[in-house]
Amino acid sequence: MLSILKNAGSTCLIGSAIGGILISCGSNAQKNKPNRKPNVIVVLADDLGYGDVSGYGAKAIRTPNIDRLIDQGLRFTCGYASSATSTPSRYALMTGLYPWRNKNARILPGDAPLIITPDMETLPRLFQKAGYVTGAVGKWHLGLGTGSIDWNGHIAPGPREIGYDYSYIMAATNDRVPCVYVENNHVDNLDGNDPIKVSYVQNFEGEPTGKDNPGLLKMHPSHGHDQSIVNGVSRIGFMHGGKSALWVDETMAEVFSSRVKSFIDKQGDQPFFLYYGLHQPHVPRIPSENFAGESGLGPRGDAILEADWCVGELLDYLEAKGLIENTVIIFTSDNGPVVDDGYKDDAVEKLGDHKPAGTLRGGKYSLFDGGTRVPFVVQWRGAVTPGVSDAMVCQMDFYNSFARFTGQNTDSGKDSQDVLDAFLGKSGTGRTELVQEAQGKLAYRQDEWAYIPSYEGAAFSQWTNTDLGNSPEEQLYNLDSNIGETENLAKSNPSKLEELKKRFEEITRNR
């Protein structure tokens, strides 16, 4: 069955076809490319909160390019990462599996082995089977190699071994060594006469650290982040050599953006899947001079403006190439926000009335909803009707949803659910439940209810000023009536508490 959808300058026929979704657009840009499979791009911001986007209600900062996605796409009010930290949520996105099922899916050091084994079924491999060229550009943070990496040779396994035809990545995060780009299986621009050495145990002789040489720093740590100095910033871990390959923080956005454009340009008429991992607004927040001081919120706000620019560059390029109407674009974030995450960058002092998590409680590292509920937008011009959806969806659901999208079997045995109809705006119903993870601890969301088991530990982080969700008492919240999770209903509604607790224990029993 075909349906006809119209937008400015084009008419599209959308329907089922053997092998997946069929699309034929009548715009000038697409008229000579009938029935081409739609491209798919996932843009994943880093530490961007539910309240950091003007299209989600932010007043102190404007994100016009992300708002372009929202205005012409479907904005989800209940879109989730699986986890409140980076590595676990990326693991879930790539594999369709809850990260807490893998004990290695935790915040990784920069020299950690790859935690997705090459024999696993992954999201990029799913697209490869459907005839797509696959690419990964930007932040990785899923590990590389098998445990002893030679940064001067062939680095494997990595993105290629789990389904990416092309990759241009940072190994971990911008606050961790090694501070180099890895293209496919090799460090980019490496001088063989200046080999790289990396350690997370001890420093190398003669290498200055931020702890002992604060005068060499242009940005100082607030906690941790006081080891090897690269580009005037001390990082986590120790590094020696590789001077020609070191990144410059101020140009990182431009470097990744250019690689995204190059990947798209090389595909011609071949459909592609692209994972674009933004590094903003993760620390250290050192945007280009075009954005430094522009937000009024300090480097964190400036980094958000730079991330928004990256989105704008992507949209403009797709439009210029005539691909925008045949490309599904998903924009989201790996976890909730954090303001002070290890550097003295005025983010706290200049925050003002801005609320990075919006009306939500918690943020990065938190079991509260602010840790995992994030901006989540799907745009497919002419096919997805712009609007707002309250359907509960998760990045983990990409696997089974795009399996059906590409005409493949969705009975994968994964935790991913097929919510394709919700992603495409054909249904207001998504998943009904989700187990959320934060630093190894779990919480549970079912419909409008949130359940947090009793946990030992600090309720509030003195380092990041985040409500972590730890409490000796069980917690129960109705998010429809109390989205800020301030009224614990565990004692006043014991039947609902027991109902959710029982289901939560059923799901997590074999953890």
3-state secondary structure 223-238: CCCCCEEECCEECECE
CATH of 436-508, one of 3.90.930.12, 3.30.1120.10, 1.10.1580.10, 3.90.550.10: 3.30.1120.10
Strand segments (E) across 55-121: 74-80
Tokens of 465: 């000023």
**Cα–Cα distance, 368 to 407 (Å, whole number):** 36
Residue range 229-258: mean pLDDT, rounded? 98
Rounded percentage of the chain residues whose pLDDT exceeds 70: 93
Confidence tier at 35 by pLDDT (50, 70, 90): low
**CB of 122 closer than 8 Å to CB of 94:** yes
Query: What single letter denotes the amino acid at residue 2?
Result: L
Question: Quick one: pLDDT at residue 511?
Answer: 72
Tell me which residue of 289, 278, 230 sits closest to 253, measured CA to CA. 278
CA-to-CA separations, 194 to 60, 145, 190, 429, in angstroms, rounded: 46, 21, 8, 56
Write down the pLDDT at residue 213: 98
3-state secondary structure of 104: coil
Domain span(s) for CATH 3.30.1120.10 in the chain: 436-508
Nearest to 508 by CA among 461, 465, 467, 451: 451
The pLDDT of residue 411: 86
Please state, in angstroms and rounded to a whole number, the distance separating the CA atoms of residues 296 and 59: 12
* pTM for the whole structure: 0.94
For residues 272 and 321, give the distance between their C-alpha atoms in angstroms, rounded to a whole number.
Answer: 14
> Which neighbouring-strand residues pair with 186?
183
Q: Is the pLDDT of residue 115 over 50?
A: yes
CA 424 to chain centre: 20
Q: Count CB atoms within 10 A of the CB of residue 33.
A: 14
pLDDT at position 5 is 36
* Contact between 135 and 272 (Cβ < 8 Å): yes
User: Taking 50 as the threshold, does the pLDDT of residue 29 lie above it?
Assistant: no
CA 209 – CA 239 distance, rounded (Å): 10
Burial letters 228-266, b for 16+ CB under 10 A, else e: bbbbebbbbbbbbbbeebbbebbebbbbbbebbbebbee
- Asked if the model's pLDDT at residue 19 lies above 80, the reply is no
Q: Rounded CA gap, 85 and 361, in Å?
A: 16
The pair of structure tokens assigned to 341 is: 């995450």
Q: Nearest-CA neighbor of 423 among 369, 376, 381, 370?
A: 376
First-last CA distance in the chain? 43
Fold of 2-196+241-435: Alkaline Phosphatase, subunit A (3.40.720)
State how far the Cα of 351 lies from the Cα of 489, in Å rounded to an integer: 32
Domain(s) labelled CATH 3.40.720.10 in the chain stretch across 2-196+241-435
CA distances, 119 to each of 115, 122, 224 (Å): 12, 9, 36
On the 0-12 / 13-18 / 19+ scale of CB atoms within 10 A, 202 is exposed
In whole angstroms, give the CA distance from residue 230 to residue 373. Answer: 33
Look up residue 112 and give its DSSP letter.
Answer: P
Q: Which two tokens stand for residue 83?
A: 């986890």
pLDDT surpasses 50 at 405: yes
Residue 27 has pLDDT above 60, yes or no: no
Does pLDDT of 18 surpass 80?
no
Residue 510 is predicted with a pLDDT of: 78
- With a cut of 50, say whether residue 11 has pLDDT above it: no
Confidence of residue 341 (pLDDT cuts 50, 70, 90): very high
Give SS3 for 12. strand
Give the tens place of pLDDT for each residue, 206-220: 999 999 999 999 999
Q: H helices within 321-414, ranges in order?
A: 398-405
Q: What is the number of other CB atoms lying within 10 angstroms of the CB of residue 130? A: 19
Residue partners of 91: CB distance under 8 A and separation at least 6: 97, 99, 102, 105, 115, 116, 142
Supply the pLDDT for residue 14: 44
Poorest-confidence range of 40-49, 303-312, 404-413, 443-452? Answer: 404-413
Q: Contact 180/196 with Cβ under 8 angstroms?
A: yes
pLDDT in tens, 349-361: 999 999 999 999 9
Compute the chain's Rg from CA coordinates.
22
